[in-house]
Structure 1
Amino acid sequence: MKPSHGLAALLVSLTVSCSAAPAPPVAQDEVAVTVQDCQGKDITFTSTPTRAVTLDGWAAQAMARLGLTDRIVGTGFTGPLAVEKEPYLGALAKVPVISDKVPGTESVAALRPDVVLTSFASFGGGSGPKDADLVTMGAPGIAGCIADRTRPMTDLSVTYDYLDRLGKVFRVEDRATALITELKGREAAVRAKTSSGARPRVMALADNPVAGQPVKALGGSTPVNALIELAGGTNVFSEVDGMHADVSPEKIAELDPQVIWVVTDFSFAKAKGEELVGQIRANPFLATTSGARDGRIVSSSQYVVGFPSALNLDGLEQLARELHP
């Protein structure tokens, strides 16, 4: 799809201005900082960014946890902001909202950012800017890097790495280190309580199963899988590559999950929140599973557990209590 005339003119203007000007000098009180993108390519920042666009609420949350909301000139995909907690919620309420969805390239470019952030695995999702668009804007991008779909996620290193890179880029490494230490401490406390004993079989569902259609379960290469492992459970679909595993009701019956974890608020789901949980509780396809028979159906929002975020630890603590009451 071709860009609009307004976007084309804006990007041409940005290209001319960026190509005509030399690389900005390193500020006297700063040194150049280099971090890697999701492909292992170096990105160098010669000064601290002051105009950040966060394409999603998870990225905005990360900035809030690091005390950097004053650097955000616009955010999109606001759903994750609704589950953030004080005192961060108050700071995030002041952030300008571009769109409730991932903002388009033109909207992002109009804000003239010097960095673009997302907690998704890469850029270019939906109408959002792609890597090539960021180059044209002259704004490097930092993504969440959930990139390896060939093996299960078993830890939260992606979450910690994201916060670490933001801390370096914005020159608040002390804050990032303190936050990561706090989060790792909470993780260790959970693991200490759940590392021994039986590991319940868990199935994570993103939607209510319907006759004649594949069941939307969550596979191994997701933060959801990592949280199940750390909480002392076993994801029955951990070996399925990708985020969403389309599985048959017969396969579910064969694996017999002992706990059904409903991950709500995905855009493709036919219902949201507790409505979805109620539908799954009443679903006859699941009635023969141990989880349904024993009433062990729990729920969390994808805004808490779906993508790299400090809120992942809230989801971990909640799930651990459910798996090991």
Structure 2
Amino acid sequence: MMSGVVVLAGCGDAGSATDTSGTGTVTIKDCQGKDVAVPASPRRVVTVDGYAAQAMARLGLTDRIVGTGYPAPFGADQQPFRGELEKLRVLGRTVATTEVVAAATPDLVLTGFSTFGQAPGSPSDADLETMKAKGISACLGDEKNGGPASLTSTYDFLTRLGRVFQVEERAEQVIGELRAREQAVAAKRGSDKPRVLILQDNPVAGQPLKTSGTVTIAHALIEAAGGQNAFTDVTSMHADVSPEEVLKRDPQVIWVISDYPFAKVKGDELLRQVKANPLLANTSAVKQGRVVGTSQFLVSFPTPLNLDGLEQLAAGLWAGQP
């Protein structure tokens, strides 16, 4: 059964991935390191979610997309990409379902999720086989070995798309620009590693807090910004933690990631409420005024917008530093 396709560090010689036999396919590795052949330069592409569509836009490939699901992330994008993306045919306000993907008769299906079928109702690997379409997904971290997420996931997704669509030079250019921004953040990091609490909703007395673990892009961005996740022992994407444990670990920075569908409030209003929440008043983060806000559309899955999220976090992490 086919799995999400992406290059992984240590999965072999990436330079040998392109098939030059004239068969019209490109062979790349899936998330388990297995070779998978996909059509070379496909013309009919469905993006299950807006995260995958953003990667296509950066490579100048929006004209290949015949439909997309979950366009909500487009609102966080910058021009001219936002304008391009908002012109795409929308197959669903949530992720594109199996039925609508099949009806679009794609040659290739893309997702920013780590596996197909991860979102309820979206096509699984078996569904793609039934509709005779290949799929490429991004991976969060070294899934083969259970390692944490890193920005390598974002860069490798773009690399594989560049090879499949035969726009390698454009992919290298985009990745180079993103890496330069990552390096610019790294150059400004302080000598300590502030403890960062990821918070996804406003805490309520008597209820657990929602945070993110090491398999998330958000965790990868904390590391890249020079901080440390206050809950490195959490390995799931989302987890509930007790207010008592939060106070015990005393985060020095609170990173409010807004716009999750389960959150009671969204955007700047969530940030305002967290800053004023008495349950967090005794943390070093609130006492020192180090509460930062970012939309989940920038930091949930591998996308070029991850670097926007990194820069927002770093600005709050090192505010006032020389």
Specify if TM > 0.5.
yes
What does 1:14-93 correspond to in 2, within 5 Å? 32-93=25-86
Query: Unpaired segments of 5 or more residues in structure 1?
Result: 1-25
Larger-gyration structure (1/2)? 1
Q: What TM-score does the superposition give when structure 2 sets the normalisation length?
A: 0.88
> What TM-score, normalized to structure 1?
0.87
CA distance in 2, matches of 1:55, 1:173: 23
Per-residue CA distance 1:243-287 (angstroms, 9 max, x = gap): 112111110010000111000111111111112112212222111
Aligned Cα root-mean-square deviation (Å)? 1.8
1:152 alignment partner, one of 148, 153, 156: 148
Deviation at 1:163, TM superposition (A): 0.5
1:212 correspondence with 2:206: yes
Look up the match of 2:175: 180
The structural deviation recorded for 1:212 is 2.5
Letter in 2 for 1:163: L
Shift of 1:123: 1.0
Q: Is the 8 A contact 1:152 1:239 kept in 2?
A: no
Instruction: Report the equivalent of 1:324.
Output: 318
| Contact persistence 1:98–1:107 (CA under 8 A) | yes
Task: Give the residue type in structure 2 aligned to 1:183.
Answer: L
Residues 43 and 140 of structure 1 are in contact (CA less than 8 Å); yes or no, is this contact kept in structure 2?
A: no
Tell me what 2:294 maps to: 300
Gaps of 5+ in 2: 1-18
Identity %: 54
1:156 Cα deviation from its structure 2 partner: 0.5
Aligned AA (2:25): A
The one-letter amino acid of 1:275's match is E
Alpha-carbon offset, residue 145 of structure 1: 1.2
Aligned residue runs from structure 1 range 181-260, under 5 A: 181-194=176-189, 196-260=190-254
Structure 1 letter corresponding to 2:78: K
266-275 or 59-68, larger mean C-alpha shift: 266-275
Assess if the C-alpha contact under 8 Å between 2:140 and 2:148 holds in 1.
no
Task: Provide the secondary structure at the position in 1 that maps to 2:122.
Answer: coil
Q: Deviations over 1:172-216 (max 9, x none)?
A: 11111111111111111111221x412211101011112232210
CA displacement at 1:30 relative to structure 2: 7.6
1:239 deviates by 2.2
How many pairs align? 298
